[in-house]
Amino acid sequence: MPQSDLIVLKRPWHANFTDTNHLGRAYIAEPHKFDSVLTRVFTASRISYNPLTAMTKGAGREMSIASSEWEWELMGASERPLVVIENIESSLARPGFARTEFRIKLDEDWFKPGDVIVPEDKTYPMRVQRAPISDGNGFIYYVVLQTDDPQKFLPPAYLAPGQMFTKFFSNYEEASDQAGSTTYAMPWKLRNQLSTYKKEYSVTGDAANQALVVGLMDADGKIHNDYRWIKYAEAEYWIQWYRELERAKWYQRRANYVLGANGRPVRTGPGIQEQLERSHVHYYTRLTEKLLREYLLDIFFGRVDMANRSIKVFTGEYGMLAFHQAMMNSSAPFLTLDTHYISSVGSTTANSQSLAFGAQFVKYRGPNGIEVELIHNPIYDDRAINYKIHPELLVPEESMRFTFLDFGGRGIESNIKHVSKEGGMKLGYVSGLHTPTGPNKGGMMSNSIDAYTMVVMDQCGVHIDDVTRCGELILSSQA
């Protein structure tokens, strides 16, 4: 919590195991109750603090699997340009001059005789005359320019390695027994894996029923008026548990070779940010509407129908401010003093003409069907995990990170889903002389300690079907 003149008492932190000494040192255990309520620094519902969980599991975008891994196939485009591997006609100053045949070495044997292929300049169509011949790391095609002009030739620069040729169509003579090629996209197989999470807390029998000075408010804002430590322990436990799972969804890294205490590997799956490292990642210094528009068109252009270009962007508070300012700067010539920005408000003063000014941009509707909805991600604002501070604003730089997620579809058909293992969520108690329901009165014990421990485990992860429909804008100082 920030420094404040209003703070008159700071209680010491501790972790995992609670006994009466902890409560005494924190000055929250006394023999009598007082009429007050302990409100957390930031009390919020689990869902509002965990927006990704809300958008996936909370919205029905989830799937349950029986194993710890899952695979899926992603189909690419059925057409692509072929690439020049080597210039095997370097001795020709005018390739194709006088409608003569010349050779092009490309990376695949896709084209058949009769296919018309074209370089970057579409005024140089050329017809494939023979079946390709395998040659080392590529295939040699024999082609002629499709022209009646005997003086025309292909500029030699188009035969340099890295140049590209695309099939446009196929042309044949009368009574031909040949026909054009058909290309098929073969799917890629991708694999992801779950992570295993566990968390516990322990409470002694004396601490469990210890009266507290204050009532306690849980993650949902509910006040527990029985003033027992156990209510705070449970509330705090679940707040941290769901927060940790949300952090994992964003920041977990894939690993298979780290060994745990029993010698078995601690296998973890990738979070959102690692999965997006091979998507559309761009570093920026100043957010503008032009940058946003061009970035999104790069994601959608030629790939996503204009009627389905709606995307969610997760960012921190200062990212929201940067987004608002970018929209303000771009829309300034069009803004008018209407009820969107200036409105009448009730007043308790003698002035009956009180006005309120202000509004905030949280959506962007761009050209060609682009629509962006801003979602606040408190994880990006969390100073407990984001240590890199902006030198001028003195807030975490992560607060200005923009993560674009195209959920696309509903429920299990969504592009992004929460994945859990069947039966992977487990909860249990290790009881000694004290149990979750009170003192042990002759029941079975796991140990002789006057305490009990609660342990929760979950096996889950996050799935992105097609990362190319997503991306990130990251402040350039993070590069």
Taking alpha carbons only, the member of 225, 228, 204 closest to residue 435 is 204
Is the same domain home to 305 and 383?
yes
Is the same domain home to 378 and 462?
yes
462 inside domain: yes
Per mean pLDDT, which range of 217-221, 363-367, 371-375 is the poorest?
A: 217-221
Higher pLDDT, 360 or 152: 152
CA–CA gap between residue 83 and residue 64 (Å, rounded):
42
* Residue found by looking up tokens 């349950």 in the block: 64
303 inside domain: yes
CA–CA gap between residue 405 and residue 467 (Å, rounded):
9
Domain span at 103: 82-170
Strand 471-475 and strand 280-284: pairing?
Answer: parallel
CA–CA gap between residue 312 and residue 475 (Å, rounded):
19
Is the same domain home to 298 and 153?
no
Is the same domain home to 121 and 93?
yes
Residue 320, token pair as written in the block: 């929201």
Which residues, in sequence order, are bridge partners of residue 126? 117, 145
Mean pLDDT taken over the chain: 77
Q: What angle do CA 272, 275, 277 make, to 5 degrees?
A: 110
Per mean pLDDT, which range of 93-102, 295-304, 422-431, 460-469 is the poorest?
A: 295-304
Taking alpha carbons only, the member of 322, 459, 306, 329 closest to residue 400 is 322
* Residue found by looking up tokens 């010539």 in the block: 333
Q: Is the pLDDT of residue 204 over 50?
A: yes
Is the same domain home to 251 and 111?
no
188: three-class secondary structure by DSSP: strand
Is the same domain home to 236 and 340?
yes
Q: Is the pLDDT of residue 199 over 70?
A: yes
Band (423; pLDDT cuts 50, 70, 90): confident
Is the same domain home to 267 and 295?
yes
CA–CA gap between residue 159 and residue 157 (Å, rounded):
5
Is the same domain home to 326 and 392?
yes
Task: List pLDDT tens digits, range 218-275.
Answer: 555 566 565 555 566 776 777 788 888 888 899 888 888 888 888 888 888 899 999 9
Is the same domain home to 91 and 65?
no
Task: List pLDDT tens digits, range 292-318.
Answer: 888 888 887 766 677 777 889 999 999
Per mean pLDDT, which range of 27-41, 52-66, 149-163, 407-421 is the poorest?
A: 27-41
Give the torsion through C-alpha atoms of 224, 52, 62, 45, to 10 deg.
Answer: 10
CA–CA gap between residue 400 and residue 321 (Å, rounded):
9
339 inside domain: yes
* Top mean-pLDDT range of 4-18, 131-145, 431-445: 131-145
Continuous H helices in 33-121: 46-49, 51-55
Final residue before a domain boundary, out of 155, 170, 185: 170
C-alpha separations of 328 from 38, 367, 393, 432 in Å: 40, 17, 20, 62
289 inside domain: yes
169: three-class secondary structure by DSSP: strand
39 inside domain: no
Higher pLDDT, 262 or 436: 262
- Report pLDDT for 350: 54
Is the same domain home to 63 and 134?
no
Per mean pLDDT, which range of 60-74, 116-130, 196-210 is the poorest?
A: 196-210
Give the CATH number for residue 130.
Answer: 2.40.10
Q: Which residues does 329 contact at the CB level (< 8 Å), separation at least 6?
A: 288, 289
Is the same domain home to 257 and 377?
yes
Higher pLDDT, 25 or 472: 472
Question: What's the domain count of the chain?
Answer: 2
Band (105; pLDDT cuts 50, 70, 90): very high
Per the CB < 8 A criterion, the answer to whether 244 and 70 are in contact is no
Taking alpha carbons only, the member of 320, 298, 319 closest to residue 398 is 319
CA–CA gap between residue 380 and residue 115 (Å, rounded):
53
464 inside domain: yes
Task: List pLDDT tens digits, range 129-169.
Answer: 999 999 888 999 999 998 889 899 999 999 999 898 888 88
236 inside domain: yes
E strand map for 48-178? 62-65, 69-74, 82-86, 102-106, 115-118, 126-128, 133-135, 138-145, 164-170
Q: Is the pLDDT of residue 42 over 80?
A: no
Mean pLDDT of 274-278: 89
Q: Is the pLDDT of residue 176 over 90?
A: no
C-alpha separations of 202 from 19, 237, 242, 432 in Å: 9, 11, 18, 11
357 inside domain: yes
Residue 136, Ramachandran bin (φ over 0: left; ψ between -120 and 50: alpha; else beta): left
Is the same domain home to 306 and 249?
yes
Question: How far out from the chain centre does Cα 96 lie?
Answer: 50
Task: List pLDDT tens digits, range 377-419.
Answer: 998 988 888 888 888 888 899 999 999 998 876 556 788 888 8
